[in-house]
Amino acid sequence: MLGKRNHSGSVPPNGKKKLRKRSTVELVPESEQIFQGKVFYYVPPDDKAQPRRIRINKAIKFGAAWTTELSLSTTHIVVDKTLTFKDVMTFLKLETLPSNIIMVSEDYPIDSIESRFLLDPKQKQYTVSGYQEMSKVERAAPPSPTMSEHASEDTAALKQPPSHSKELVHGSEIDDTSARVQISQPQNHDMDDHKKMIKLARSMEHIPINDEDDDQEDDIPPSRDQSDESGSDVEPRRPSSHNRPKSKRKGSRNLSFNQEGFTCMTGGTGITTDSNPNARTIEILQKMADYYVETKDHWRQSAYRKTIGVLRKQNTKISSYDEAIRLPTIGHRLALKIEEIVLTNGLRRLNDVVSDPRFHVLQTFMNIYCVGINQAWNWVQQGHTSLEDLKAHVSLTKNQQLGIEHYDEFLTRIPREEVTALGNFVRDAAVSIDPKVEVIIGGSYRRGASSSGDIDFILTKRSTTSSQELLEFLTSLTNHLTKVGFLVAALLTPSQTGSKWHGCCVLPGILKSIWRRIDFLLVPGSELGAALIYFTGDDIFNRSIRLLASKKGWRLNQRGLYKDVLRGPGRVRLNEGSLIEGADENKIFAALGVPWRPPEQRICN
DNA sequence: TGGCGGTACTG
DNA sequence: CAGTACC
DNA sequence: GCCA
């Protein structure tokens, strides 16, 4: 039933589908792997039904990769015979089929395997019903109600949107690092198998990566900084051979984890690594991380970002598998990849992705403010290739329109001196409205960055105990700053219980000044410490220290550190907990057993 | 095998 | 609710 | 992706 399915589907809120390792699937000899380099997306995209599971496993056996998330590298959509073309397009929320994806019926892989050869997908028996009519005539044909009972069950499954978590299953452990190249070039439907094979062979010849040159690293001199990237996570490191779990700290629970392993315990070095011996490796891994954004595989992306963070801290070049695997957060596959990068100056897998023009389009779209992976992916799927396309053909929210209008500006970094100047401007205005208000610049600026992606302000007042008490002040401030031409747009304003304001500003009186992203956070004095930790970051540090708190049975957020937090299955929080400390940054560190470190040493990314 | 931060706002 | 954002 |  559909209700049940939808319900259970939404229970694991982050789509925890997991990559099912088919280590049990034994591959046929490589020469017989007719699906080598192909990536199959099945509809419905699961293997819950026994027959489909068997078919999928068989395809994997013959070299296919199986994905449950449509992505740039998908080569085939394999459709259950009970479904029509329109069903599939509706399910995928597509208007047209991307030209380089082949849609076939479920018989296609089976027959190909039998004939030991990639068959012509255009043959009638492999086309999905409704496909030809749709492509010939351009009329909106009503869905043919010719479905068996079995079919209706499967269409019910389609109600579940194709979001969340992808699985890419290769038959062997070797997968992506190895020579299993993803073929992502357009494969015209009228290209015959022979030509395809030639093309495939050719594509496997190149090893080095194309530097698509768009990455002028400019000057990111000292320090990293915040908003250039975000959304990684942190977790304990391997117990570093020497220091053992040792005694428990403070009144905390039975600590069955190694606190020393948390990134927040050591933080960043604080040293400004200008040139890192692992720069090239980092560059490639960063692109891999970008690629995994594309696949919506958030956690895999995180793993890459963590690895990048670790490599950045090394002052020697990590060249071999053995060197790499000893480092925290670097496991078997990343160690393999690091070795391959050093050896070949690139990663074969990546080459195919970055050379796909859609990859760049996707990245372009995602750089629009308030456009994320899902929106960007949908637009790419619909065939849009430029910001002009979007302006002309899709409906944009107000913020997205602003994002496009000021696309380059929002990507332009703000020199530290300008942040200081903007800060002074805000401070003067704030104090003139309420002399008791304090203005603190947070974000990468507080971490000492020489340039920032945006400007973050904490607005606080000693005597206050709730952010609402500052709402009126905020209104006066934004009104005033708007009137004098400092604030030029509001992107997000606080709800009645809210505490954040997002918008844009310029330094008045400067010709052709650049629009800057600016954020205000209202903070009562009683929460200043927690807010400082939050607003100083970086994001990796925040995740690490919050995870640490959670392992102790506590909770850290931007308002305070709380104890006695009960959590249910999946760490779902069941209660608020009771406040340990909120006002003093230092005391929060101390309570958690984290050695104090100044903001500059919280750069973990 | 199931974790991987915790929150606020929009549509 | 999903999506996007903040660090 | 990695880790407990």
Banded model confidence at residue A92, pLDDT cuts 50, 70, 90: confident
Task: Give the residue with greater pLDDT, A540 vs A272.
Answer: A540
Nearest-nucleotide field for A6 (CA, C1'): C1
Domain A414-530 has CATH 3.40.50.920: no
Verify cis geometry, omega within 30 degrees of 0, for the bond prior to A44: yes
Q: List, for residues A347-370, the tens digit of each pLDDT value.
A: 987 887 788 888 999 999 999 999
The CATH H-level (homologous superfamily) assignment of domain A545-603 is DNA polymerase, thumb domain (3.30.210.10)
Q: List, for residues A440-468, the tens digit of each pLDDT value.
A: 999 999 999 999 999 999 999 999 999 99
Residue-by-residue DSSP string for A413-476: -EEHHHHHHHHHHHHHHHHHH-TTEEEEE-HHHHTT-SEESSEEEEEEETT-SSGGGGHHHHHH
Span A560-577, average pLDDT? 85
Structure tokens at A361: 């389009």
Q: List, for residues A260-302, the tens digit of each pLDDT value.
A: 888 888 877 766 556 789 999 999 999 999 888 877 888 999 9
Instruction: Return chain A residues 277..316 having CB < 7 Å to nucleic acid strand D.
Output: 299-300, 302-304, 306-307
Instruction: Decide: CB of A570 under 7 A of nucleic strand B.
Output: yes
Task: Give the residue with greater pLDDT, A458 vs A309.
Answer: A458
Structure tokens at A334: 């990343």
One CATH from 3.10.180.10, 1.10.10.60, 1.10.150.110, 1.10.10.10 for A196-241+252-352 = 1.10.150.110
Q: Which residue's CA shows the smallest distance to C1' of C5?
A: A370
Instruction: Decide: CB of A329 under 7 A of nucleic strand D.
Output: yes
Banded model confidence at residue A568, pLDDT cuts 50, 70, 90: confident
Q: What is the mean pLDDT of chain A?
A: 78
Residue-level pLDDT at A511: 84
Instruction: Return the minimum-mean-pLDDT range out of A39-43, A187-191, A341-345.
Output: A187-191
Instruction: Decide: CB of A333 under 7 A of nucleic strand D.
Output: yes
Catalytic residue numbers of A, as ranges: 337
Q: What percent of chain A has pLDDT over 90?
A: 51
Fold of A30-187: Rossmann fold (3.40.50)
Distance of alpha carbon A45 from alpha carbon A13, whole angstroms: 18
Distance of alpha carbon A529 from alpha carbon A510, whole angstroms: 36
Rg of the Cα trace of chain A? 27
Residue-level pLDDT at A271: 63
Are A562 and A575 within 8 A, CB to CB? no
Q: Residue A124's CB: how many other CB atoms inside 10 A?
A: 7
Instruction: Return chain A residues 461..520 having CB < 7 Å to nucleic acid strand D.
Output: none
Span A172-180, average pLDDT? 32
Using alpha carbons only, what angle is made at residue A215 by residues A213 and A217, rounded to the nearest 5 degrees?
Answer: 135
Residue-level pLDDT at A198: 24
Is A545-603 the same fold as A196-241+252-352? no
Domain boundaries, chain A: 30-187, 196-241+252-352, 414-530, 545-603
How do A76-79 and A65-67 pair as beta strands? unpaired
